[in-house]
Amino acid sequence: MGGGGSALRVCAEHRGGINWLSLSPDGQRLLTGSEDGTARLWSTADGQCCALLRGHESYVTFCQLENEAAFTCSADRTIRKWDVLTGQCLQVFRGHTSIVNRILVTNNQLFSSSYDRTARAWSVDKGQVSREFRGHRNCVLTLAYSAPWDLPGAPFEEEAVAGGLLVTGSTDGTAKVWQVASGCCHQTLRGHTGAVLCLVLDTPSHTAFTGSTDTTIRAWDILSGEQLRVFREHQGSVICLELVNQHVYSGSADRTVKCWLADTGECVRTFPAHRHSVSALKYHAGTCK
């Protein structure tokens, strides 16, 4: 990472800042969500805009692109599903009472987090809420899901994880682990002294890594709720996390990216090239971007 590169493609038709982008699984399309209230689909081959996704009544906070459908969420309190070929809105998910921060689509389920202090699970086909997760004392910022087949455990745990586990992070300083099948809180992860801004899961070891405004990253066992280790070297809020090959990469308001050994918490490398806070990062093909 660092400077010196030149742009291969420029996608410059939005009329406001871009809040999020998502690459399709086949790598052929890029989805961008913007402050202008629209999302756009782009061809990665030539940088041309393929479709304008217009319908949200406020800015787009987050987006996720699949091969056959696109999903966006917005400050207008809704989530939308779109046809990637025509740009037509196929479904509007209504129920949140404040800004929707994040969405996650997996196995015909859609999970969402909101400033209304809840997370929700939806049926993608029906567009209806199937579960509400209530318990955070402030807005829910980030979330991750572990499917039941990723959670091998003792027999007494099988019923609890039958529908998988949802992990949420909040500005109340906690992360919570929820049983998706029942909607019950399985564990509350307490230890951070600031808002939980980001999280990633290592599903084989049922470990969650959370980053916070308290400048730390913490590792947790999501089945037992035990705090496993604390990563302390950042000098600013930890804004984003990526987990690759048992290495945790973290982007921070201290303008650095750090690489840590996931199983020990040892910082093995610091990338100090940025001039501003690092708000997003992605590891691909041996390169951290």
Residue ranges covered by each domain of the chain: 134-284
Q: HSE (CB half, 13 Å, CA atoms) of 183? A: 12
pLDDT tens for each residue of 139-165: 999 999 998 877 665 444 566 677 899
Of the candidates 207, 274, 205, the one whose C-alpha atom is nearest the C-alpha of residue 239 is 274
Please give the pLDDT value at position 156.
45
Query: Distance of CA 179 to CAs 55, 119, 185, 188, 285, Å?
Result: 33, 12, 6, 12, 34
First to last CA, the chain: 6
Please give the pLDDT value at position 284.
61
Please give the pLDDT value at position 165.
95
Contact 199, 217 (CB under 8 A): no
Amino acid (1-letter code) at residue 41: L
- Of residues 47 and 38, the one with the higher pLDDT is 38
CATH of 134-284 among 3.30.930.10, 2.40.50.140, 3.60.15.10, 2.130.10.10: 2.130.10.10
Query: Distance of CA 97 to CAs 84, 172, 236, Å?
Result: 27, 18, 31
pLDDT band (50, 70, 90) for residue 4: very low
Please give the pLDDT value at position 23.
87
Please give the pLDDT value at position 214.
98
Query: Distance of CA 167 to CAs 32, 126, 150, Å?
Result: 25, 23, 14
Provide mean pLDDT across the span 12-21.
Answer: 78
pLDDT band (50, 70, 90) for residue 39: very high
Return mean pLDDT, the chain: 89
**CA atoms of 199 and 52, how far apart (whole Å):** 30
Provide mean pLDDT across the span 111-122.
Answer: 98
pLDDT tens for each residue of 277-286: 988 777 666 6
Of the candidates 145, 140, 200, the one whose C-alpha atom is nearest the C-alpha of residue 173 is 140
Cβ-proximal residues to 4 (8 Å cutoff; 6+ apart), any chain: none
**CA atoms of 33 and 28, how far apart (whole Å):** 17
Q: Beta-strand (E) ranges in 107-184?
A: 109-114, 118-123, 128-134, 140-146, 165-170, 175-179
**CA atoms of 223 and 156, how far apart (whole Å):** 11
Amino acid (1-letter code) at residue 215: T
pLDDT band (50, 70, 90) for residue 20: confident
